[in-house]
């Protein structure tokens, strides 16, 4: 049986990353999130700091919400002035995502991995969501923010960035259920049953 890749997109506070990590641990496989930035830096020779700065720069771009630079898979050569452009930094992240998918079964959190691997038959794309009150309550437990109102503002801002980032590089709507194989409400299932749901889907689809 070929590798099975699970991609996780998630609303802030829904526990999507934790669910991905739990599934990976259960399966004895790796879970990659921001590690992808380090790996892209190692592969490209571009300072990892620039990958982190690209995200912050895009957050402050007024055109980001409706502009698009849909990923097509081409890398820009080092001799080009655009070698360290936001587009090429994403291209190298996508290259790493594809390499991981070809080398091993794993979980990939964020970074538009579902879109990058959309033509791979062995990918299960998951979107984890939950009602706002659940996301607020869970986030307050893990944050220095103490006000529910301030936490709601932070969650809305973070999810807006995730949606804009996704649209910028994919041309798609981040929270559109049609983009994913599974959409899981973590407030109804709980983390362990979300993991079981992913396992059941993989078993049914791939007979494993």
pLDDT attached to residue 175: 94
pLDDT attached to residue 72: 77
Please write the tens of the pLDDT for every residue from 121-167.
Answer: 999 999 999 999 999 999 998 888 889 999 999 999 999 989 988 98
- Buried-exposed string 158-168: b where 16+ CB fall within 10 A, e elsewhere: bbebbbbbbbb
- The Cα 177–Cα 188 span in angstroms is 17
Confidence of residue 57 (pLDDT cuts 50, 70, 90): low
In which residue are the tokens 């998951």 written? 126
β-pair partners for 6: 107, 124
Please write the tens of the pLDDT for every residue from 162-208.
Answer: 998 898 889 999 999 999 999 999 999 999 999 999 999 999 999 87
Please write the tens of the pLDDT for every residue from 106-116.
Answer: 999 999 999 99
pLDDT attached to residue 61: 60
pLDDT attached to residue 48: 85
Give me 58's structure tokens.
Answer: 């895009």
Please enumerate, as own/partner, the contacts of 47-51 that have beta carbons within 8 Å and a separation of 24 or more.
50/84, 50/89, 51/89, 51/93
| CB neighbours of residue 85 within 10 Å | 14
CB 108 within 8 A of CB 5: yes
pLDDT attached to residue 60: 58
For the cut 70, the answer to whether the pLDDT of residue 29 exceeds it is: yes
pLDDT attached to residue 69: 72
pLDDT attached to residue 39: 92
The rounded mean pLDDT for the chain is 90
Please enumerate, as own/partner, the contacts of 29-32 that have beta carbons within 8 Å and a separation of 24 or more.
29/104, 29/105, 29/106, 29/107, 30/104, 30/106, 30/107, 31/106, 31/107, 31/108, 31/109, 32/100, 32/106, 32/107, 32/108, 32/109
Give me 145's structure tokens.
Answer: 């923010």
- The Cα 91–Cα 75 span in angstroms is 6
For the cut 60, the answer to whether the pLDDT of residue 64 exceeds it is: no
Q: What percent of the chain has pLDDT over 90?
A: 64
Question: 161 or 9, which is more confident?
Answer: 9
For the cut 90, the answer to whether the pLDDT of residue 67 exceeds it is: no
Report helix, strand or coil for 17: helix
| CB neighbours of residue 152 within 10 Å | 17
Give strand ranges (E) for the chain.
Answer: 5-10, 30-32, 106-109, 123-129, 182-185
């Amino acid at each position: 049986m070929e590798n099975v890749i699970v991609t996780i997109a998630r609303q802030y506070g829904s526990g999507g990353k934790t669910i991905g990590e739990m599934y990976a641990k259960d399966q004895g496989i790796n879970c990659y999130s921001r590690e992808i930035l380090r790996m892209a830096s190692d592969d490209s020779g571009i300072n990892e700091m620039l990958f982190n700065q690209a995200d912050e720069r895009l957050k402050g771009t007024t055109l980001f919400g409706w502009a698009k630079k849909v990923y097509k898979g081409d890398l820009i050569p080092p001799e080009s002035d655009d070698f360290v452009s936001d587009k090429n930094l994403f291209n190298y992240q996508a290259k790493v995502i594809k390499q991981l998918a070809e080398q091993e079964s794993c979980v990939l959190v964020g970074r538009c991995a579902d879109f990058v691997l959309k033509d791979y038959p062995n990918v299960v794309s998951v979107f984890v969501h939950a009602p706002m009150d659940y996301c607020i309550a869970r986030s307050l437990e893990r944050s220095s923010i103490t006000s529910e109102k301030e936490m709601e503002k932070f969650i809305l801002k973070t999810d807006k960035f995730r949606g804009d980032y996704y649209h910028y590089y994919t041309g798609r709507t981040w929270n559109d259920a049609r983009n994913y194989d599974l959409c899981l409400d973590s407030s109804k299932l709980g983390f362990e049953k979300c993991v079981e749901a992913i396992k059941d889907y993989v078993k049914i689809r791939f007979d494993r």
